[in-house]
A and B are shown apart, each in its own frame.
Chain A
Amino acid sequence: MTYKITVEGAGEATCYEDERALVAMERAQGFGRLRGLPRKLPVGCRRGGCGICRVLVLEGDYRSDPMSRSCVSAEDEARGLVLACAIYPLSDLTVRLETPRLNKPGSMPAAQTSGE
């Protein structure tokens, strides 16, 4: 089973079942299928921690791994602003690349000593 990820203005990627959307997009760019991208696809940790791969999902369903809240707030996530490395398509998707946001100073979690 594969899904089509349309990257707005750039091209299309083929994503396999249980594959991270970002990994499919990286492969597509390697094969020259995201020619509309003006630059290299932003790729960092591929594990939901750095925020470099933020996309807005315009259409389609997906499931997701935990994403670091310093990169994506709960409200962001609810409206489809997610980390491409932490979502797995459940249908064809259309996404728009979003620039990462810098944390506002002081937004790091406090209480370094307590467990959750």
Chain B
Amino acid sequence: MALTGVLRPGFAQLRVLDMEKSIEHYTKRMGLYEVTTGNDGRVYLKCGDEFDHHSLVLRKCDQAGIDMFAFKVASDADLDAFEARIVAYGFPVDHVPAGEQPGLGRRIGWTIASGHRIELYAHADLSDPKPMIHNPDVWDMEPHGMAARRMDHCLLYGPHIEKNLDFFTKVLDFKCAERVDMPDGLLAIWLTCSTKAHDIAFVNYPEPAKLHHVAFELKDWHAVGHAGDIITRYNISVDIGPTRHGITRGETIYFFDPSGNRDEVFAGGYTYYPDHPTRTWDETQVGKGIFYYERKMNEAFLSVVS
């Protein structure tokens, strides 16, 4: 089957306490590129292996966290079709005009049961650097820092994630690749709209609209090790890793940006196809699912969010 409807994560908009330090972190250390600064001061960044205009937006604010997570859909007609389905499901949808973020077409947005704002859009201009398309080299601009290739997914914390599961699968045509069920209910879900093991994930948490991490994909396990060297060399606050997730199988490091938002860089992960069954974890093995080598969660996994 071809990918239709929701194609992939498009951008995350993060709130940062110090813009200058944040730009340095995401560009010099993680290897993203600054595309432009908007009139309102928001800064737009991208990875070198992405075609579209930007995949990360930084907004200066006195509170850390995530403003929204947006997905790109295949066509403008999809926006209307999804809007009708979202409204029919019961969530009011609002409209963000083209150009509200430089390089992007019109967007639709709404709030899901966990309190997070999700958006869809169909059009993005191209920006540099981007992959070459005629007699292409492996990269146009030489990768630097952690050499993040793309903004890949996010993990969000909030209440009612069983409602998020229902919504994403019924209305946005996502699939649930993995889930964790505790004796007292659903703890976590990994949802995909593609052949990746996840494009967005949720953990049940009493407080709405929280961010656990935004993740950027690296080339391989060696690149994850190199990212670990950068984290120590530049005294970036590390959470855990390098290690591996049992869930999705990704090789990973969790660390924090200068505002305390958690970032992940990772490599690997299995291929998911929409006919695959959901993989499930229970209370006895969930530690191995989260951190495969440690075989237990660290204290921060369930309690530290922004």
Interface residues, chain A, with chain B CB atoms under 8 Å away:
40, 42-50, 52, 65-70, 102-103, 105-106, 108-109, 112-116
Contact = CB atoms under 8 A, between A and B. Distances in A.
Interface in B264-306: 299-300, 303-306
Nearest to B101: A113
B300 A112 contact: no
Chain B at the A interface: mostly helix, strand, loop or mixed? loop
Interface in B1-59: 13, 15, 17-18, 38-42, 59
B93 interface: no
Contacts of A102: 206-207
A66 B18 contact: yes
B144 to A, nearest CB: 23
Contact of A50 (B39, B68, B117, B305): B305
B63 A44 contact: no
Given A48-B259, A67-B17, A116-B40, 7 more contacts: A42-B299, A44-B239, A45-B306, A102-B207, A105-B207, A115-B40, A115-B42
Contacts of A68: 17, 62-65, 259-260, 306
Contact of A49 (B40, B208, B259): B259
B261 interface: yes
Contacts of A42: 299, 303
B65 A70 contact: yes
B41 A115 contact: yes
B237 interface: yes
Contacts of B181: none
A108 B68 contact: no
A43 B304 CA distance: 8
Interface of B: 13, 15, 17-18, 38-42, 59-65, 67-68, 96, 100, 115, 117, 206-209, 237, 239, 256-262, 299-300, 303-306
B97 to A, nearest CB: 10
Nearest to B17: A66
Contacts of B17: 48-49, 65-68
B260 A48 contact: yes
Closest 8 CB pairs of A and B: A49-B260, A115-B40, A45-B260, A44-B304, A49-B64, A112-B67, A115-B41, A46-B237
Given A40-B299, A68-B63, A112 B13 contact: yes
A25 to B, nearest CB: 14
Nearest to A116: B60
Contacts of B42: 115
Contacts of B237: 45-47
